[in-house]
Structure 1
Amino acid sequence: MSTTRINGSLYTDIQNKIATVVFGHPSSNCFPSELLERLSKEIISLGNNDAVLIIILKSEGTKAFCAGASFDELVAISNLEEGRLFFSGFANVINAMRTCGKLIIGRVQGKAVGGGVGLIAACDYVFATESAAIKLSEFTIGIGPFVIEPAVTRKIGVAGTAALTLDATDWKSAYWAKEKGLYAKVFESISDADKEVSTFTTKLASYNPAALAEMKKVLWKGTEEWNLLLAERTAISGKLVLSEFTKTALLKFKK
């Protein structure tokens, strides 16, 4: 199945019990709200699909993996409800990935910022290339990575999240991310990463489906309250984005 619109693209291909989901957008694979909604629905659908055992998540192209949420939509937020809805986009995707009964394998070919880092953290196992540096730059515009923080901290710990968040202008290398546990393996090229992803997911798909499903539950144990937690975090971000500090910072970035 596939969908392509002005707000980005989302493609899903299912072969041999493995679903490959590919998202894309002309602006460095950023996520407008509509694309986030489509991705969350697609993950939920695949989780309920008995023909699927494993999900691969990746983005289009050879450059950026994901530039986070749409900057144009961020700038346009004018009230608390719009802010809440905007930040709920990544919250819904993270919760969909968390509750999906299928293991999700990420393939990251390039840089990831903000929500893109949260998307990576919500994967169960991630293969990346040497170009897959990461950054959480939210502080530079007066907000913070509050919505994605639970997923990121779950993977790299409080110290790692603090380093990413407080060093808001600095990129962390793919090897830094691997050392912290965000990436499982790092490869020199996209082709090398793709070969390993193919081999790895083929093996996983040959295992007992019941065991895979139970392992998914084990990996996410302790996150049962995230529906409420992430809703609280969207409210925090939605309020901050309306602050004078953030409005001024966003105008500077836009210019």
Structure 2
Amino acid sequence: MNIDINMADNIAIITINRPGSLNALNKQTLQEISEALCDAENNASVRVIIITGSGEKSFVAGADIKEFAAYTTAEAMEMSRKGQVAVFDKIENLSKPVIAAINGFALGGGLELALACHIRYASENARLGLPEVTLGLIPGYGGTQRLPKLVGKGVANEIIFSAKMITALKAKEIGLVNEVFGLSELMEKTKELAATIAKNSPLAIRAAIAVVNASDTGSGFEKEMEAFSRLFEAADKKEGVAAFLAKRKPHFQ
């Protein structure tokens, strides 16, 4: 196994565990992440998912270059398509929030993995970048599409064209990560956020993920209205309102 999975207290933690290669992504690792995501989504007790890397040096240092070095155009297309559909798009559109705990290098496919997550926390030692152009390539797991939405086209172009690594503090400054913590605090703070989210309505969060993802389409406002109105018939809304009126904490099922 190239990943470890821990499920407790409504939180699933997926840890990429290839320390000898700084947790680089290969076919097997991507497949295992995909399977772990499916398991977490189908597990009713899981309400939030955290993705992180093993050790203190690296979240994910990129794709495993040795694995794809000799790929043909067709093989590269299949690699990109399969990775996007099975992992990166799946994360972005999962019905449960996914938080990246970036504990070190997040480069190439590693940064693309973090970009696909709904929220990103980073440690102070994190370094982020998309170095693909130094290999004569470009990001192939959605980096050219997701990064501009977060930081703007000009900043995204600078990061992609220069292939420079940026610090965690710079990443927070440009909106690439939400918060930065000391390495020893990162998982504690990430779990605190996950626990806070897990207390809220799963149905409402599922709807929020879908409509936020639709915000860059022409139908975002309509989808928000539809989702908002549908929730009025849901048990979660009835419990939430009843709890508010009774001045007690809600118990969402």
After TM superposition, the score normalised by the length of structure 1 is 0.79
- The reply to whether residue 136 of structure 1 matches residue 130 of structure 2 is yes
Unaligned runs of 5+ in 1: 225-255
Contact 1:24 1:59 in 2 (8 A): yes
Match of 2:153 in 1: 158
1:39 counterpart (33, 36, 48):
33
Q: 1:146 Cα deviation (Å)?
A: 4.3
Q: CA RMSD, aligned part only?
A: 1.7
* Structure 2 gap ranges (5+): 218-253
Q: Does 1:23 align with 2:16?
A: yes
- Residue aligning to 2:139: 145
Identical counterparts, % of pairs: 25
* CA shift digits 1:37-56 (9 cap, x unpaired): 22123213322321211001
Aligned-partner Cα distance in 2 for 1:156–1:214: 24
Equivalent AA in structure 1 for residue 122 of structure 2:
A
Partner residue, 2:100: 106
Distance 2:118 2:107 in 1: 19
Question: In the alignment, residue 85 of structure 1 is paired with which amino acid?
Answer: E
Q: Which amino acid aligns with 1:196?
A: K
**Kept after mapping to 1: 8 A contact 2:105/2:127:** yes
Match of 1:190 in 2: 183
CA distance in 2, matches of 1:129, 1:89: 30
Structure 1 runs of 4+ aligned residues shifted over 6 Å read: none
Question: How many corresponding residue pairs?
Answer: 214
- Residue 240 of structure 1: aligned partner: none
1:20-69 Cα shifts (integer Å, max 9, x gaps): 11112120110111211221232133223212110011110100211111
Distance of 1:154 and 1:47 partners within structure 2: 26
Deviations 1:64-84 (A, max 9, x none): 21111111112131x222212
8 Å contact 1:24–1:30 — kept in the other structure? no
Instruction: Output the TM-score relative to the length of structure 2.
Output: 0.79
> Which amino acid in the other structure matches residue 69 of structure 1?
A
Q: Distance in 1 between matches of 2:195 and 2:8?
A: 10
CA 1:223–1:116: 2 relative to 1, 3 Å: farther
Deviation at 1:223, TM superposition (A): 7.0
Deviations 1:156-203 (A, max 9, x none): 2212210111112x211111111121211011x222112211211111
Largest Rg, 1 or 2: 2
SS of the equivalent of 2:60 reads coil
Q: How many Å separate the matches in 2 of 1:192 and 1:38?
A: 27
1:90–1:115 contact (8 Å) kept in structure 2? no
